Amino acid sequence: MPQWLLNRLFESKDQPKPTFAIQGTINWMRALSEVVNSDEFSDEITNDIYKKVQRRPKNEGADTLVFENMLMAYHNLASLDSLDKDVSHKYDVIRSAIVSWYYSTYFAASAMVAASSGSQQETHTATAKVWHSDFAEKGLLPYPFNLCLSTLVGKDVKSQIKTLRAGNSYTLNVHSTNLDEAKGACLSYLSGTADYKKWEVEERVKASRDFKNLGVDNFKTKAAQSLRDDALNKGQVNYLFQAFRYRGKANYRDSIFLSYGNSYEDKMDLFVSDLKDVTSAFVRVASIYCQKRVVKGDWELFISDLEENTRLTLPVNIMKI
């Protein structure tokens, strides 16, 4: 009885083909890793972006949030480091590795938000929105973490993606081996996430009272299109929204694709290593920014304290400025 479980899932819900789903999962992380390990990503580039960032007035509560979130980012990165180094069969831990990647990213971004505005959001979506306005829209991120869209209107997304591509025709079908391939794949994932977010918004609009009052079931009328486009125009895509979608595919929606069917054993070791490299790069960016915002000298006290008291095996050098 070949692939009994897969057939059963196909019968019960819209289940993506495992081969297609895992290809995009592996290739996006490969592309990000290719960039952060290139000459186009460095402390010098990040420091240049943040050279005008001013230390804020003393805010102990907000600074404590920064340190707490960076500790959690560091802990999840340490988990990912151990999964990379200490596990021989990566298929066994691949979902856990993606979850560690996501939460390290999320906590590092939360630390950045706390360092920027002193705020703490109640949901992951709210954090992504504040991070969008505080960093993505202000150009306060290095490539590739700066890739973003501030609308979900279809024609505008296509126009912006075309501009960003600047003739680059590579897509997420490529397992990147150079920067051009990596940049094309990154833009494909940005575009794909925009399509997904657009679908989410359209579903919310269809469920709204205003839409139901129109007495229609699609967006063919001008009134329905106006409702939809008003909502889409407020939509956003950034690295955090992409990360949230990525984690959701691994942890909830596409249940079967990471551990079933065709073998990608030859790419799994590199995949976990890519997850770690990309996480390390993002944590580094957050560290450089946060150090510039907290009380002078406190970042160094934070690092010294971890060096003395952490029980984790991962050196804290990634956060040392």
| Predicted confidence pLDDT, tens digits, the chain (321 residues) | 578 888 888 887 666 666 667 889 999 999 999 999 999 999 999 999 999 999 999 999 999 999 999 999 999 999 999 999 999 999 999 999 999 999 999 999 999 999 999 988 989 999 999 999 999 999 999 999 999 999 999 999 999 999 999 999 999 999 999 999 999 999 999 999 999 999 999 999 999 999 999 999 999 999 999 999 999 999 999 999 999 999 998 888 777 888 888 888 889 999 999 999 999 999 999 999 999 999 999 999 999 999 999 999 999 999 999
Cβ-based neighbour number of residue 307 at 10 Å: 12
Question: Could you state, in order of their start, the residue ranges of all structural domains in the chain?
Answer: 18-148+247-321, 149-237
DSSP letter, residue 252: I
- Give whole-number Cα distances, 6 to 12, 13, 45, in Å: 10, 11, 46
Positive or negative, the CA dihedral 84, 86, 88, 90 is negative
Predicted pLDDT at 17? 67
Please indicate, yes or no, whether the overall pTM of this predicted structure exceeds 0.85. yes
Chain segment 20-53, per-residue pLDDT in tens: 678 899 999 999 999 999 999 999 999 999 999 9
The dihedrals phi and psi of 66, each to the nearest 5 degrees, come to -60, -50
Q: How many Å apart are CA 225 and CA 195, to the nearest integer? A: 17
Please check whether residue 152 is in contact with residue 233, taking contact to mean a CB–CB distance below 8 angstroms.
yes
Task: Write out pLDDT tens, residues 61-84.
Answer: 999 999 999 999 999 999 999 999
* CA angle (96 as vertex; 78, 46 as ends), nearest 5: 50
